[in-house]
Structure 1
Amino acid sequence: MSLLQAILIGCVAALTQLEGGWLGECKLREPIVTGFLVGLILGDVKQGLMIGATLQLMWMGATGIGPTAQLDIGTGGTIGTAVALLTGTGAESAILFGVPVAVIMQFLNTLLLSAYSGAMLVADRKIDELNFKSVNAVHYLCGFGTFLLYFGLTFIVMYFGNNMIEGIVNGLPAWMNAGLTGVAAILPCLGFALLLNIIMEKNLVPYFILGFIPAAYVGFDLTMVAIAAIAVAVAWIIFMLRQNEGTRAAAAASSVEDEWED
């Protein structure tokens, strides 16, 4: 990896930390976006997008709710995709390095925010004094500090740890590579399951089935299982429609009875 490539990848990882604070919710931290950018930097946009999409499927259900800390998918996806492209491997290497990095960097982010608590006290004091220029200075100072920290760590890993990363990947035994390939296939399913656990409702299940069947059988002949699933989904939708009609009819009849009583 060249010096310029390491600098640019460090900038991508650092910019993912400024989303929400400086850049708004522009989705820069999403693996499919960082995968495209890393692929553009390393000269393989197609493979970068494919690896980023796999990580996106894996992490799309990883949502921070309330006080629960969210994984640092921005840095994890950036470094994971870069490692996979540099070593010429697939999503299994991206997962091997991306997942631990996402966990470690989230702990680092927690420590960083704790360190910024002192700066927040200064900002509160400046607000009481109506000194808004100093408040802005604190805001930008914290942002630059976050950028430099994440840029520096990512740059060091990419530029100085390149040979070590290649040695780790090339030194993995065949059984571990096979296991990582299996994990790379299973984890996107886990990501969907986590997402569905949050948003899925009973009334949406038949529509999910109707969407899943074409996606699963594109390029293949439909089996009896697929045809039966489609039939169940259609019957379920018809049942829900008739149930809703019965509910509306009962409500209308009740309304008419109330009018007659009046």
Structure 2
Amino acid sequence: MIACMATLAYFICYGGNWLFGQCMIERPIVVGTITGLFLGDLTTGIIIGGALEAIYMGAVNIGGATSAEPVSATVMSVTFAITAGLSMEEAITLAVPVGLIFNSLSMVWIMLTNIFQPAYQKVCDNGDGKGLTRVILTSWFTIYFTRAIIIFCCVYLGSEAVQAFMSQLPDSVIHGLAVAAGMLGAVGMAVLMKMLVSTENIGWLFVGFVLAKYLSLPAIVIAIIAVVIAITIGLTDKKIHDLKQMMTEGTPMALTEEEEFFNE
């Protein structure tokens, strides 16, 4: 029953995400919540999902380049934490290799999609819209159902094994796992900042750090200040852009009320 619930959570989150146009239900915070809900421990699912979101928030798949597969990692981490009694640190540390392994297996499912290529070609050549819909749904179900079967096997065969393995680990190893899990969030944030931070906005990063560290402002207050600053900068840039465009086109600039008064 547990393996079925974990498999269903994986299929809904991963398969449903791509069926409806990448609606982001495959993010760890959502996957963890749904898995925890299905397994009867919503709190654990949300906590582990939120922790894994901090790790995988910087993992973005661009084109054919993939870095990790967070859905399987989240499902198995939450499942083993609830059923095998793993601590949050142990479950989070388990998630990283699981995500990498499932990501390396993605080529298997990519090759599986080639099986449906003749069917796609046939319905497209015939202009069969309903047939195209059937082929799309069939290929979608086949690909993600086969993925879900692997999750089922891992959970069904691995729960007792993982529990027995973790019970044999010495305290020093458990402590090391806790330390590693604490560092993973910083790694995920660093990957995200590497993509976002540039020479133009690095100064604002230090401003936010000063507001949080030395003025002890809450995160929501800093976010509000950031939104106000971003809107102000955006409006200023728009005015500058419009001014440059008018100068380029030779369009006379509209005078303000003060300028019109003094011109009179």
Q: How many residues align?
A: 234
Normalised by the length of structure 2, the TM-score is 0.75
- 2:225 alignment counterpart: none
1:33-63 deviations in Å (ceiling 9; x for gaps) = 1111222223322222111111110111111
Aligned partner letter, 2:112: A
- 1:125 alignment counterpart: 122
Aligned partner letter, 1:206: G
Alpha-carbon distance in 2 for matches of 1:214, 1:54: 24
Aligned partner letter, 2:164: G
Q: 1:120 to 1:55 in 2, by over 3 A?
A: same
1:182-261 mapped onto 2 (5 Å cutoff): 182-212=179-209
- 1:102 alignment counterpart: 99
**Deviation, structure 1 residue 107:** 2.5
Normalised by the length of structure 1, the TM-score is 0.76
* Pick aligned residue for 1:12 from 9, 12, 17: 9
Q: Tell me if structure 1 keeps the 8 A contact 2:28–2:52.
A: yes
**Deviation, structure 1 residue 74:** 0.9
Alpha-carbon distance in 2 for matches of 1:77, 1:47: 11
- 1:169 alignment counterpart: 166
Alpha-carbon distance in 1 for matches of 2:149, 2:158: 13
1:46-85 mapped onto 2 (5 Å cutoff): 46-85=43-82
Confirm whether residue 140 of structure 1 aligns to residue 140 of structure 2. no
Q: Tell me, what secondary structure is at the counterpart of 1:89?
A: coil
- 1:226 alignment counterpart: none
1:183-229 deviations in Å (ceiling 9; x for gaps) = 111111111111111111233333333434565679x89xxxxxxxx
Choose 183-192 or 112-121, whichever is displaced more.
112-121
Q: Tell me if structure 2 keeps the 8 A contact 1:47–1:85.
A: yes
Aligned partner letter, 1:190: V
Identical pairs, percent: 23
Alpha-carbon distance in 1 for matches of 2:20, 2:31: 15
Q: Tell me if structure 1 keeps the 8 A contact 2:112–2:143.
A: no
Q: Tell me, what secondary structure is at the counterpart of 1:116?
A: helix
**Deviation, structure 1 residue 172:** 1.9
**RMSD value, Cα:** 3.5
Q: Tell me if structure 1 keeps the 8 A contact 2:14–2:144.
A: yes
Q: Tell me if structure 2 keeps the 8 A contact 1:16–1:75.
A: no
Alpha-carbon distance in 2 for matches of 1:212, 1:88: 37
**Deviation, structure 1 residue 108:** 2.4
Structure 2 unaligned regions, length at least 5:
218-228, 251-264
1:118-156 deviations in Å (ceiling 9; x for gaps) = 312320122012123332222111111123212222222
1:13-48 deviations in Å (ceiling 9; x for gaps) = 122332443133222111111111222223322222
Alpha-carbon distance in 1 for matches of 2:98, 2:46: 19
Which ranges of 4 or more aligned residues in structure 1 deviate by more than 6 Å? Answer: none
Q: Tell me if structure 1 keeps the 8 A contact 2:44–2:78.
A: no
Aligned partner letter, 1:169: M
Structure 1 unaligned regions, length at least 5:
222-236
Q: Tell me, what secondary structure is at the counterpart of 1:203?
A: coil
Alpha-carbon distance in 1 for matches of 2:164, 2:208: 42
Q: Tell me if structure 1 keeps the 8 A contact 2:32–2:75.
A: yes
Q: Tell me if structure 1 keeps the 8 A contact 2:84–2:159.
A: no
Q: Tell me if structure 1 keeps the 8 A contact 2:73–2:98.
A: yes
